[in-house]
Structure 1
């Protein structure tokens, strides 16, 4: 990339950003932006932001798709992202992103021990879908975080992806975002990767986060918790949700957990659990009178072992095959909307190749939609890689 009149390696910049403070200042004052050199055929600008005296880079608003697929700043194009329907709820600017969440983070006029509201669950969607496009539900916020952190994109040169790497990328996105006018970095707890030597420090940080979920009279403040489910266990009063890497559990009612499992059947299916798929959740939490972290609502997302989102176990199998074949690809995310996207897009071919996994059998509406999609691909001349799960996986090598 280029800062002012100097070319700098991205790896060196990320490893020691303070070394380039003066160069950052020059680029910001004299040029107004940095330039990513991932493409030879066009200039792709980057925003230079300063937080508490430290500079860092971010995508120029609505330009993430202009970067090369293997670039750190590459993002899904609007035509394969549910974000395109949320222009009023997700507003990106040079200073960061402002998001309007349908769930209030500060609630007044209710008891400090609120019971989860009964909501009719949608098939794999957040319980807040009915709010329209002027606000996002929990699932849309989870998808925004995943997409902004480029975790819905896989590139063979990216190396092994574990929770520690995911958390760092997610925290980077939360740093420049506000949700309902609150800094997301303070409202969101992203479970840290387990570190035995820092266990006491991490537990103290968790207690400080819970301490911010204060209740005064009929006003209480909620927070968000993002992590990976390790186990869901019954208790005398409901369920205990244990998260990977974290000693402290979250608690909820059986009614809420039943609703979540109906809303996200692919995430909590026995097939997903047997195959070792990952169950990522974003929870809206409050603190009970007795100090317990209580789940008021939850969005869930299935991923493969590399944390690539998938809508079914069959999709996860395809994602595994693409990773093993060293393909570069992205997974379109729906947010809370019902837009129709391909299951995956291979971005290492010119033009790109669309991937469809036909996994539902014997349902007339699904078969009709399948035929319509196949016809649309043929008419547009787009390259299509298909897998009918009744047969073996196709050859996915490049």
Structure 2
């Protein structure tokens, strides 16, 4: 994990991400005087970082054209192309530019009741009608991609919600927009709860909720992002709570039933100790105090918030993290990738694809599997395959990692003590990290 500096001395980036309020005053002074921070991931030449302010907190981000110059394993490092999840198409629903994510969602953020009872969409939106729109899950995935949350750098320090919050804000950009409006007026990323910061956290959330209004026939909605804690019954439907705050969000039975089907892998994992379920909620005001969920997207994640497509992927991701492997979870943001792997090990030469087969026997699935296997053989891409019906996770033998020397480019093969063996404790015991906040 990298160290950063912005005044006298250095601090661990992880500490800054976990406890941003503790460094707010120092970062505010640095932004006003020095104007930048430094990342010390490289000993030969520290890299400058942008200091960004969101509300009362400050976060650090790499300059867009400097991401590739950070060292391997640094949170600010991005390979070419990883900061543009939707590509250069000007009519794309999600556009990653130098000022942040420009997004057009297929939801209505402002609605007005007409005399006939019908409603109009997004009053005053500046986005063009010809531009495509994205579903909420695609936006959630784009946030994870732009924030670097699809990578794990092999660090022994685990990633909790404090780091997720900081990385999301850093990746969005200061001038990010949603349906033509500033993203930070529309989207609230829940803060990691800290007892000593509870007053500030509650005040910020209350101020955001005041923007969610329903008066004079106009309903102004907002997006809230956090980790699902519970889904419970009420007299009239369901209520959802997020792990970061006790606020209750009410939803109809129909909406929850639809979400359970549409995001079935995520929904089944709610409450499991080895997984996380992140939700993006579109909410509106219901009476004076309550919030109602109009729509939602749910994304299954590993214990350290790496996005996953199944509970088997969660188990594999948790194992790779426990063994300090450096890897990526590719996310399909556009058509065209014929060999999108479940995971890619970045600490082998060449990189190794990791495939998890959990739908064995289905004709279309077997055909697609065979096609991807043939493409990899033709291109000489090594792959590790886990057939969940035939072997346990701890029986899967992973290739030994190699480590690139951080600054001079040498490759050093790790000895046997550098990686846990495949015969370690079962995934349910070794890779369960349920105590993270």
TM-score class normalised by the smaller sequence? 0.7 to 0.9
| Residue of structure 1 equivalent to 2:392 | 392
Aligned to 1:159: 157
Match of 1:189 in 2: 188
Q: 2:316 and 2:392 mapped to 1: Cα distance? A: 11
Partner of 2:228: 229
1:249 is paired with a residue whose SS is strand
CA deviation profile, 1:358-388 (whole Å, cap 9, x unmatched):
1112211111000001111101111212111
Residue 330 of structure 1 contacts residue 346 of structure 1 at CA under 8 Å; is this kept in 2? yes
Q: Partner of 1:298 in structure 2?
A: 296
Which ranges in structure 2 are unaligned for 5 or more consecutive residues? 3-8, 17-22, 120-128, 402-437
Cα displacement string for residues 140-185 of structure 1 (whole angstroms, at most 9, x for unaligned residues): 1111211222121111226221112212222333452221222222
Q: 2:100 aligns with which of 96, 102, 107?
A: 96
Q: Which residue of the other structure, out of 321, 324, 346, is the alignment partner of 1:323?
A: 321
How far is 1:345 from its partner?
A: 1.1
Distance in 1 (CA, whole Å) between partners of 2:196 and 2:118 is: 37
The one-character-per-residue Cα deviations of 1:258-309 (angstroms, maximum 9, x if unpaired) are 111111111112x664454111100111112344211111111111111111
The aligned runs of 1:370-381 (5 Å cut-off) are: 370-381=369-380
Q: Is the 8 A contact 1:64 1:74 kept in 2?
A: yes
Distance 1:242 1:208, change over 3 A: same
How far does residue 235 in structure 1 lie from its aligned partner after superposition? 1.0
Q: Is the alpha carbon distance of 1:214 and 1:273 closer, same or farther for their aligned partners in structure 2, counting shifts above 3 Å?
A: closer
Deviation for aligned residue 1:114: 10
What SS class does the counterpart of residue 371 from structure 1 fall into? helix
Greater relative CO (CA pairs within 8 A, separation 6+): 1
Alignment partners' CA distance in 2, 1:114 and 1:276: 45
2:254 counterpart residue number: 255
Written as runs of structure 1 = structure 2, the 5 A alignment for 1:1-150 is: 16-17=26-27, 48=50, 58-61=61-64, 64=67, 67-75=70-78, 78=81, 83-84=86-87, 88-109=92-113, 134-150=132-148
Q: Matches of 2:136 and 2:259 in 1, distance apart?
A: 12
Q: Distance in 2 between matches of 1:66 and 1:165?
A: 22
Tell me, in whole angstroms, the C-alpha distance in 2 between the residues paired with 1:96 and 1:81. 10
Instruction: Give the alignment's TM-score, normalised by structure 1.
Output: 0.78
Q: How many residues align?
A: 371
**How far apart are the structure 2 equivalents of 1:255 and 1:288?**
17
Residues 46 and 57, structure 1, Cα contact 8 Å, conserved in 2: no
1:343 aligns with 2:347: no
Aligned to 2:167: 169
For residues 181 and 226 of structure 2, what CA distance do their matches in structure 1 show? 20
- Contact 1:47–1:94 at 8 Å: present in 2 too? no
In the aligned structure 1, how far is the partner of 2:155 from the partner of 2:303?
Answer: 17
Tell me, yes or no, if the aligned pair for 1:61 and 1:92 is still in contact at 8 Å: no
Pairwise mapping of residues 191-230 of structure 1 onto structure 2 (< 5 A)?
191-230=190-229
Alignment gaps of 5+ in structure 1: 2-7, 28-33, 116-130
Instruction: State the Cα distance separating 1:216 from its structure 2 match.
Output: 2.7
Alignment check: 8 A CA contact 2:255 2:295 kept? yes
Query: Cα 1:23–1:197, aligned 2, differ >3 Å: closer, same or farther?
Result: closer
Distance verdict in 2 for CA 1:61–1:101, change over 3 Å:
farther
Contact 2:278 2:298 survives alignment (8 Å): yes
Q: CA RMSD in A?
A: 4.0
